[in-house]
Amino acid sequence: MGKQKMGKEAPAGPSQRDGMSEKTGGTEALTQHTEVILAAIQDSKTALQSQIAMLAGEVGLLRDDHNKLKDRVKATEVTMQETTSQVKTLTQKLALMVNELRTLASKVEDAESRSRCHNIRLVGVPERAEGPSIELYIETWLSEVVLRGTPTKFFSVERAHRIPAVPPPPGAYPRPITVNSEIDELQRQRCSPPRDTQKGPLENQGKRDKHIPRLHKSSTETTGSICHSQKKTLIQ
């Protein structure tokens, strides 16, 4: 009996029970705090992962846009190089075309002047002196006055008209007449009209007339500058 009493543990006292309760309560509180912290960490991790995924998607979009822009820049550079080459080629061709245009313009002026060699401008013919047929009047006048009796069967006036078409007011200087004709003799005489005192100047109804060649404006200006230079040379 004594041995059995000696082998039994003594019951815990009030102080021990209080310490164990405090220890158990502290462990539970620590566990609760740990769980709260872990939950907060998990929430933060989840939110961070969501933001990282969103940023990764945006970065991917930016990467795609960057690649597209890079490709467009390369294509633009290639296009600019091709355009520069084409502009250079076109500039060279344009320079050649400008030179050719100047040459052709000179040829056109020469051809126009040559075609106008058959044109005669009569200045000083009174208004309405030609009557109903200006061509017949010019043929008769040329045969009698300029060609000194050459029969009209050897030539003909193709066209003749006054410039401008609107008649001038009474008392104004008469409009010139432009004549187109295929007359070799007239073409020679018109550039050097007769000036001998026996035949006298060309007259029509008592008024002096003159006929001058119809050339291109540039040819007329060139001829005038040459004549002016000749006069200055003779004076010097």
CB-CB contact of 218 with 106 (8 Å): no
Specify the pLDDT at position 70: 94
Specify the pLDDT at position 65: 92
DSSP, residue by residue, 144-190 = IIISSS--GGG--EEEEEESSSSPPPTTSPPPPEEEEE--HHHHHHH
Q: Where are the domains of the chain?
A: 119-217
* Burial degree of 221 (CB within 10 A; 0-12, 13-18, 19+): exposed
| Cα separation, 181 vs 231, whole angstroms | 32
Task: Please count the other Cβ atoms lying within 10 Å of the Cβ belonging to residue 53.
Answer: 10
CB-CB contact of 214 with 159 (8 Å): no
Specify the pLDDT at position 100: 95
Residue ranges of the chain whose pLDDT lies below 50: 1-8, 10, 185-202, 206, 211-212, 214, 226-236
CATH number, span 119-217: 3.30.70.1820
Specify the pLDDT at position 36: 85
- Give me 228's structure tokens: 């002016």
The Cα diameter of the chain in Å comes to 194
Specify the pLDDT at position 157: 80
Specify the pLDDT at position 180: 80
CB-CB contact of 130 with 138 (8 Å): yes
